[in-house]
Chains A and B, each alone.
Chain A
């Protein structure tokens, strides 16, 4: 894997998914894929439609990361969560605005966009999806 540095075009291509959870849903089997896809990974169908996931889901499980990936050193320890969105799509991402004691498996979470990291050489700020316990209404 390439080091996580100076890749503005890489993040630029990911924008629809990491900003808005947009992707393609297979009209045959219902599987959701991040970003644009021509062929369904699950059933091979070629009829996919663009869709934006609902921004809520539930926490399936989580872990605390102490040994950070490059570019995330300043935020350790941080939480990574496995979440199941309302449509059943499973996603993995950082959890924010919470400590482990705030978390309960099964709790409602919502998607937020936060600063993920600053791209090494270019100093570009990379924004993208994180999850947090739903702000109660």
Chain B
């Protein structure tokens, strides 16, 4: 599958809003048993936050790490399923707020939870082709679950951004290979003008998340002559904590290579940002020379998988902006009624 010859992460940034609601609080409201919840708690965007503001925060940290001035950025692609506007790009707003070059490609991408890694596919290709020097690939979402629905426990808010440019010695990690694997699968969707998505429980696990995630991982490993042993960290999309661990079991991946990249337990499922936030969490701790396999999953359905090698630049650059753990420690717990207000579920 496609070898990526000359594209690398120069900077990465995460943003996690400070408000958290516990799974137990949601379970209490809906009379559910709090002992078997998909995640412990989830991050909730504040009243003045949305996909654009969170994308900007993550991008500012990514630019800071990269040491690249915003004016050198000439592609801004935001992957999201919660655009503030149905029509009006989020990318141009993000670009204007950051002060990127005017000569910038910009489009919002939609592919449920893999829209962010779809932006990575685009921007690595633009860089490799020599069309741009640097671009921003962003995954950001303020995911919404219908009150009382199973998704309400996990649908969270967050963002992650990567500054991608040509492979150089001082980069954070270089891309080696990528693969995309898609089929038409009706596991989750939201029609125009609908506020909340519909999910077909029958499809959620086996034919959707597991089939695409495992197919992408197997393809990228076998076609490039890698085995599980050649990879130091595996990063997955996380609709909950069980799913990525189940994939690890199927593929005989030691849990020690998966657990460091788990984020859903404390942040929830940040949709298009999820696997990118998890990748950032690994970049906070990985050493030069280590190999990461990052795989997203988006309903509808498909997975993007990337093999990356961590480079020397990581050691200095990771300290230039707040880490995943530092952002996570900024925490204010809210109750269900505050949550309803923040997520605009109270309509007057």
Q: Which residues of A contact B (CB under 8 A)?
A: 15, 19-20, 22, 52, 74-75, 96-97, 112-116, 125, 127, 130, 135-137
Question: Do B46 and A20 touch (CB < 8 A)?
Answer: no
Given contacts A52-B99, A97-B18, contact A116 B48 (CB under 8 A): yes
Interface string of B291-331 (1 = CB under 8 A from A): 00000000000000000000000000001011000110010
Query: Is residue B247 within 8 Å, beta carbon to beta carbon, of the partner chain?
Result: no
| B85 neighbours in A (Cβ, 8 Å) | 125
Question: Do A127 and B18 touch (CB < 8 A)?
Answer: no
Q: Roughly how many angstroms separate A22 CA and B99 CA in the complex, as a whole number? A: 10
Given contacts A19-B96, A97-B46, A116-B48, contact A135 B326 (CB under 8 A): yes
Given contacts A20-B99, A115-B48, contact A136 B56 (CB under 8 A): no
For A75, give its contact among B48, B96, B326, B330 (CB under 8 Å). B48
Query: Is residue B93 within 8 Å, beta carbon to beta carbon, of the partner chain?
Result: yes
Question: Do A127 and B53 touch (CB < 8 A)?
Answer: yes
Q: Which residues of B contact A (CB under 8 A)?
A: 18, 46-50, 52-53, 56-57, 84-85, 93, 96-99, 319, 321-322, 326-327, 330
Given contacts A96-B46, A136-B326, contact A114 B53 (CB under 8 A): yes
Q: Roughly how many angstroms separate A22 CA and B70 CA in the complex, as a whole number? A: 14
Q: Roughly how many angstroms separate A121 CA and B327 CA in the complex, as a whole number? A: 36
Question: Do B96 and A115 touch (CB < 8 A)?
Answer: no
Q: Roughly how many angstroms separate A47 CA and B97 CA in the complex, as a whole number? A: 26
- From residue B325, how far is it (CB to closest CB) to chain A in Å? 11
> Which of A19, A52, A114, A130 neighbours the largest number of chain B CB atoms within 10 Å of its CB?
A114
Q: Which residue of B lies closest to A15 (CB)?
A: B96
CB-CB nearest 8 A-B residue pairs: A114-B48, A19-B97, A115-B48, A20-B99, A113-B97, A135-B322, A114-B53, A137-B322
For B49, give its contact among A22, A114, A136 (CB under 8 Å). A114
Question: Do B99 and A136 touch (CB < 8 A)?
Answer: no
| A96 neighbours in B (Cβ, 8 Å) | 46, 48
Given contacts A19-B97, A74-B47, A127-B93, contact A137 B53 (CB under 8 A): no
Q: Which residue of B lies closest to A18 (CB)?
A: B97
Q: Roughly how many angstroms separate A134 CA and B326 CA in the complex, as a whole number? A: 12
Question: Do A75 and B322 touch (CB < 8 A)?
Answer: no
Question: Do A125 and B84 touch (CB < 8 A)?
Answer: yes
| B46 neighbours in A (Cβ, 8 Å) | 96-97
Q: Roughly how many angstroms separate A136 CA and B319 CA in the complex, as a whole number? A: 12
- From residue A95, how far is it (CB to closest CB) to chain B in Å? 11
- From residue A11, how far is it (CB to closest CB) to chain B in Å? 12
| A97 neighbours in B (Cβ, 8 Å) | 18, 46, 330
| A130 neighbours in B (Cβ, 8 Å) | 48
> Which of B48, B49, B93, B319 neighbours the largest number of chain A CB atoms within 10 Å of its CB?
B48
| B53 neighbours in A (Cβ, 8 Å) | 112-115, 127
